[in-house]
Amino acid sequence: MATESLESEKVKITGGNQHLIVEDDLREMGKQAAWTVSSCKTGNGVSSLRDDNLETYWQSDGAQPHLVNIQFQKKVKLQLVVLYEIKTVELVKPTGWVYLSLSGNDPCETFVNTFMLQIVVLSNHLNGRDTHVRQIKVYGPQPNPIPHQPFQFTSREFITFTVR
C-alpha cells in the first residue's frame, strides 16, 4: 500500500552532499518526536541515528522490512526528510546526505500534516541483513514569529513594530 502511493507520486530526491545544507526557513523537528526502530544490534540503536555523529549508525538486527518510526505528540508540518546515505556494504565510504522532499507537485503543497512518519527499508543487499543508516533528520517550516498573525513577516523591521 505505502509503496503504491510512493510509486504513483513523484518524490523529489536529491543528494550526494558531504555537508548538510538546509534552507533557513526550515527547522529540525526530530527533537519533538519519539523515535523507534523495528530492530537493532546492541550499541547501534535509535540514539545513533540522532547523535549528529557520522561515525555512528543504526544497524538492523532482524528480518525485513526494517522500520524507523518517528511519532509526534500532535500534528506537525513536515517538508523534508534527510538521510545520510551509505553506498557500500562494508561501510567504507558514506556518500553524503540524501534529501527527500515531502512537498507535492502542486506549489501550494509545501508540507505534509502528520502525527507519524515511517521510513521503511523494504529490501536491500543480502536480504536486508545489517542495514545501516548513519543519520536521519526531519524538517518542517519555521513557525510564524507572531502568533495569530496571518502574514509571514521576515524582516526585523516588520517584526519589531506592531500596528494598533
The string of DSSP codes covering the chain is -HHHHHHHS--EEEEEESS----TTEEE-GGGEEEEES---TT-SHHHHHSS-TT--EE--SSSPEEEEEEEEEEEEE-EEEEEEE-STT-S-EEEEEEEE---SSTT---EEEEEEEEEE---GGGGTT-EE--EEEEEEPPPSSTT-SS---SHHHHH----
Whether 83 has a pLDDT exceeding 50, the answer reads yes
- Domain spans of the chain, in order of start: 2-160
Are 70 and 133 in contact, with CB atoms under 8 Å apart?
no
**Rg (Cα) of the chain, in Å, rounded?**
18
Residue 153 grid coordinates: 513577516
Whether 144 has a pLDDT exceeding 50, the answer reads yes
Fold of domain 2-160: Jelly Rolls (2.60.120)
Write out pLDDT tens, residues 58-73.
Answer: 888 888 888 999 999 9
Question: Who has greater pLDDT, 86 or 17?
Answer: 17
Are 127 and 15 in contact, with CB atoms under 8 Å apart?
no
Mean pLDDT of the chain: 76
Half-sphere exposure of 31 (CA within 13 A, CB side): 4
At residue 10 the predicted structure's pLDDT band, cuts being 50, 70 and 90, is very low
Question: Who has greater pLDDT, 15 or 98?
Answer: 98
> Would the pTM count as exceeding 0.95?
no
User: What's the pLDDT score for residue 61?
Assistant: 84
103 φ/ψ angles, rounded to the nearest 5 degrees: -80, 145
